[in-house]
Amino acid sequence: MCAVLVSVYSSAAVMLVHVVSLLCVLGAQAMELHRVTPTTSIKCVNCPSNVPSDAHSAPIVHCLCSSVPDRTVCSWADPPQATPLHYIATYSERQKQPVTRPCVLIPPGAPHSQLNLWHCHLPELKLLTNYILNVTAVYPGGSSSHLSTFMMEDIVKPDPPQAVQVSCQNSRTVQVKWDPPSTWAHIDIFPLKYELLYQWTSRGQLKFNHLGPFKRTSTPVSGLAVGRTYQFQVCAKDSLGLGHCSEWSAPVNITLPLHTHRV
Ligand SMILES: *[C@@H]1O[C@H](CO)[C@@H](O)[C@H](O)[C@H]1NC(C)=O
Ligand SMILES: *[C@@H]1O[C@H](CO)[C@@H](O)[C@H](O)[C@H]1NC(C)=O
């Protein structure tokens, strides 16, 4: 439709062509932005006709970016029905098909990989770009591909903050401090913000409160009850709000003193 508009107006005024094509670019980008939900397509390629296609399952693949722009990893488990001979993992920019690049495969059990999961690493991705990932499971009698489309912005999820420490300031205030996740490599260019969760039990009921977001890596928390135990956790999120907050950090408990010791 954009192309038609351009050709209709191009003879009338060059300026208008520019305006229309700019709108087309913006329109195309807006459309791309809507196409972020992962889609799964399972198909059996070259299946012998006597083999039901579900005998060749495609893996179910999840992708996460734990450091913008160069740490995106996709992972999947072997399909339960049958173990493939091997996998072929490739990715491409939706606009630049059919130029595909290999997604670097890391087999289960390799150092730093979760048990039983295959991983593949997509070295450097661009923002505002739609990618197509193709993970093909190759079986003796055929193959089956999982296709998903994503933008890096939507799959950003840092690792949790590290070294969370809680110390008493006075009988009702604590100071919470933490370090950014060390895996988030470019914190100067892509800063993080943090959210704080603290929980306590009151008359047998679990209560909680959220604080933040903070750009700094420490905060006082006041208005706490003397003698009560509180559990603190922190999560990290890209400061522009891209993607998701990390998992909560490992809980740290502190019990506020019952008595204040004044001098
Ligand atoms: C996915 O990859 C497989 C193996 O390289 C290939 O045969 C298949 O055509 C690809 N599918 C698409 C839709 O690109
Ligand atoms: C930490 O505090 C929370 C909330 O009061 C409590 O549920 C949890 O059992 C505590 N954990 C430990 C190890 O004391």
What CATH number does the domain containing 103 carry?
Answer: 2.60.40.10
Let me know whether 39 and 144 are in one domain: yes
Structural domains in the chain (count): 2
Strand extents, DSSP E, the chain: 44-45, 62-67, 71-77, 86-93, 101-102, 104-106, 117-122, 130-139, 142-151, 162-170, 173-179, 192-202, 205-214, 218-221, 229-238, 252-255
Let me know whether 132 and 111 are in one domain: yes
Let me know whether 91 and 113 are in one domain: yes
CA of 262 to the centre of ligand 2 (A): 28
Let me know whether 130 and 166 are in one domain: no
Let me know whether 151 and 40 are in one domain: yes
Which residue is closest in CA terms to ligand 2's atom 8? Answer: 231
Q: Which tens digit of pLDDT belongs to each residue from 195-238?
A: 999 999 999 999 999 999 999 999 999 999 999 999 999 999 99
Q: Which tens digit of pLDDT belongs to each residue from 101-138?
A: 999 999 998 776 667 899 999 988 999 999 999 999 99
Let me know whether 177 and 212 are in one domain: yes
**Predicted model pTM:** 0.75
Q: Which tens digit of pLDDT belongs to each residue from 8-48?
A: 233 333 333 332 232 333 333 333 333 333 333 344 444 44
Q: Which residues, judged by CB distance below 6 Å to any ligand atom, belong to the binding site of ligand 2?
A: 199-201, 229, 231, 253
Q: What distance in Å separates the CA atoms of residue 142 and residue 147, rounded to the nearest whole number?
A: 17
Mean pLDDT over 58-74 rounds to: 94
Q: Is residue 141 part of a domain?
A: yes
Let me know whether 102 and 211 are in one domain: no
Looking at ligand 2, which atom is closest to the CA of residue 201?
A: 5
**243 neighbors 156 (Cβ within 8 angstroms):** yes
Q: For the chain, how many residues are written? A: 263
Q: What distance in Å separates the CA atoms of residue 230 and residue 253, rounded to the nearest whole number?
A: 5
Let me know whether 96 and 70 are in one domain: yes
Decide if pLDDT at 74 tops 50: yes
SS3 33: helix
